Structures are given as structure tokens and as C-alpha cells.
């Protein structure tokens, strides 16, 4: 009987369902090992509109703690938004709070990637008592700073690509130049890893355009001019900042942002915006170590 008990506590338990929000239902997934006792981790994807599939490899942390991720409204397996009032940061904070309540989490670690970092900071600012730590993975923190960084990255492209991007989408070389930008700064693996391709295949262009714009280096949506620098300054919990050496979220910017809050740790890894896919072992080791330390404190 003891052997059966041991087998039971080592089993991975997965659940998924649709969580009601004021703008429709969002799909949420939980994975945990029966014996895992760590503080839960909630993962928030980027985009906006780029579903959580590309972050599925982080489910591997469920051997130590429950891992929860969800698709934001209109993305992936979630409902399409009921109206345009869904395209606000405040609405997304509300949806994340509904996910937290669905899983009855009193306190949890929060990880946000890219735009998900902006959302994680917004949530931590609104509900600081809920958060054990924040991991900001290649985060958007300040839209104007992101655009200045994008301009600097465009300057590194070959002259023909720079010229096409400056000329605009009607230029014959624009699509190829855009693809080169993504290859250098978004994901360098060709073809894209399956989790990333699955996310791309089910992304929601409407929410991406409404909240951000037509591409990573053109900001025309509701996030234009928005910043969460003050939310960084108000952070009181430990924070881990991870970015790639060739990331859209430039290391110089990430170090500067992390310096605005106490109890911050910065890790610059080889790779681009998807360094968690390009260097999974190094990324996972850094994240595990950080979460374990916070759990012990």
C-alpha cells in the first residue's frame, strides 16, 4: 500500500476550464504534482492576443508547485471579447483577478512575459497583498521606452531593411525587413518551436492591433504612451527580471527598470524575446532558484 501512496503523490494532476469575466469566459489551466507544496505560480502571456501555448514549457515547474496559465480574452481557447471595453489594462487586471478567485489562491507568484509583464505589474499594483513575487520576463514596462528601444534595434539592421521599414508597409521590401527584425529580436529558432507556432496560429489580431498596433515596433493602440514605471517603484515583493541579450526588451532598459525597486534580481540570458525557448534549461534553473528562495523567506 505504501508504494501506491507514493505513486499517488507523484502523479501530475491537470485541470482546465472556462472562467467567467465581465467580457466573456477565459480558458485557464492548472498543473500540479500531488506532493508539490510550493507557492503557486500564475503565468501571464504576452501579445496582447498571443495565447499561452508558447509558455507551456514552463508547466515543468509543476513538480514543485501548482502552475496556472490562462488565455486572455479573445486569445486561444477563450471567448471572443463581448465589446471593446475589454481592450483596457484595467479589464485585463479584472480578468486575472477572476482567474485567481477561480483557483482560490490567497497568495501566489506572478510571472508575466512581454505585455504580460505590464499586466503583472498592473495587477501587483492593484492587489499587492496577493503577490509573493513578480517575475518580469522580457517585459514591457513603458511603451515610449519600448519604441525608443525598437528604433535602436532597427538601426542595427542591414541598410536595405532599415530603408524598407522607414518607407512603410507599402515598400516592396517591408515584409522581408519585418521578418528579419523578428528573427533577430523575437525568436531566432527556425522554424519556430511547436509551442510558439501553436500560439501564432491561434493569436487574436484584433486585440493585438487594438491594444498595441500592427507589429512589435509600431505602437498605435490603447497602450500608446502608457507606463508602469511608478508601479515598479511601488513594488515591495522580490522581483526577478529576465531578458535575452538580443531581446526587444533590451538589457540596458531591463537593468534600469530593475534598479528602481529593492529586492530585484536581473538575469541576462543568451537569446532573444523567446529566450525561454532558446535556452530552456538556463531559464528554468534561474526561475526555479528564485522561486525556491522566495518560498523559504
Q: Reduce the DSSP state of residue 116 to 3 states and report it.
A: helix
Confidence tier at 9 by pLDDT (50, 70, 90): low
Q: Which residue is catalytic, options 149, 161, 247, 264? A: 247
Domains identified in the chain, total number? 1
Confidence tier at 290 by pLDDT (50, 70, 90): very high
Range of the domain at 143: 2-296
Identify which of 240, 275, 234, 236 has the alpha carbon closest to the alpha carbon of residue 254. 240
**Is 247 part of the annotated catalytic residue set?**
yes
Strand ranges (E), 107-227: 108-113, 131-137
d(CA 85, CA 229): 24
Q: Which residue is catalytic, options 114, 138, 143, 264? A: 114
Task: Name the pTM for this structure.
Answer: 0.96
pLDDT tens for each residue of 83-130: 899 999 999 999 999 999 999 999 999 999 999 999 999 999 999 999
CATH number at residue 74: 3.40.50.1820
Q: Which residue is catalytic, options 95, 113, 273, 276? A: 273
Burial label for 105, CB within 10 Å (0-12, 13-18, 19+), is middle
d(CA 202, CA 265): 33
**Is 114 part of the annotated catalytic residue set?**
yes
Amino acid at each position: 500500500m505504501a508504494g501506491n501512496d507514493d505513486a499517488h503523490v507523484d502523479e501530475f494532476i491537470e485541470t482546465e476550464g472556462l472562467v467567467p469575466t465581465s467580457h466573456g469566459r477565459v480558458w485557464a489551466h492548472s498543473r500540479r504534482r500531488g506532493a508539490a507544496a510550493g507557492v503557486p505560480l500564475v503565468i501571464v502571456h504576452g501579445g496582447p492576443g498571443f495565447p499561452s501555448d508558447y509558455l507551456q514549457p514552463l508547466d515543468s515547474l509543476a513538480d514543485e508547485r501548482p502552475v496556472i496559465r490562462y488565455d486572455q480574452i479573445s486569445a486561444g481557447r477563450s471567448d471572443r471579447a463581448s465589446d471593446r471595453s475589454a481592450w483596457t489594462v484595467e479589464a485585463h487586471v479584472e480578468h486575472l483577478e477572476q482567474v485567481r478567485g477561480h483557483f482560490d489562491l490567497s497568495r501566489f507568484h506572478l510571472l508575466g512575459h512581454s505585455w504580460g509583464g505590464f499586466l503583472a505589474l498592473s495587477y501587483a499594483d492593484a492587489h499587492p497583498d496577493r503577490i509573493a513575487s513578480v517575475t518580469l520576463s522580457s517585459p514591457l514596462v513603458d511603451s515610449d521606452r519600448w519604441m525608443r528601444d525598437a528604433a535602436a534595434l532597427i538601426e542595427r539592421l542591414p541598410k536595405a531593411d532599415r530603408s524598407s521599414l522607414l518607407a512603410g508597409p507599402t515598400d516592396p521590401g517591408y515584409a522581408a525587413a519585418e521578418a528579419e527584425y523578428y528573427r533577430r529580436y523575437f525568436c531566432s529558432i527556425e522554424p519556430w518551436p511547436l509551442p510558439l507556432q501553436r500560439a501564432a496560429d491561434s493569436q487574436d489580431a484584433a486585440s493585438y492591433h487594438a491594444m498595441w498596433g500592427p507589429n512589435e515596433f509600431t505602437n498605435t493602440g490603447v497602450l500608446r504612451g502608457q507606463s508602469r514605471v511608478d508601479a515598479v517603484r511601488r513594488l515591495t515583493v522580490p522581483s526577478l527580471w529576465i531578458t535575452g541579450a538580443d531581446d526587444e526588451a533590451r538589457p540596458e532598459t531591463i537593468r534600469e527598470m530593475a534598479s528602481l525597486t529593492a529586492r530585484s534580481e536581473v538575469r541576462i540570458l543568451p537569446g532573444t524575446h523567446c529566450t525561454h525557448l532558446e535556452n530552456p534549461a538556463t531559464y528554468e534553473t534561474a526561475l526555479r532558484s528564485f522561486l525556491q528562495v522566495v518560498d523559504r523567506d
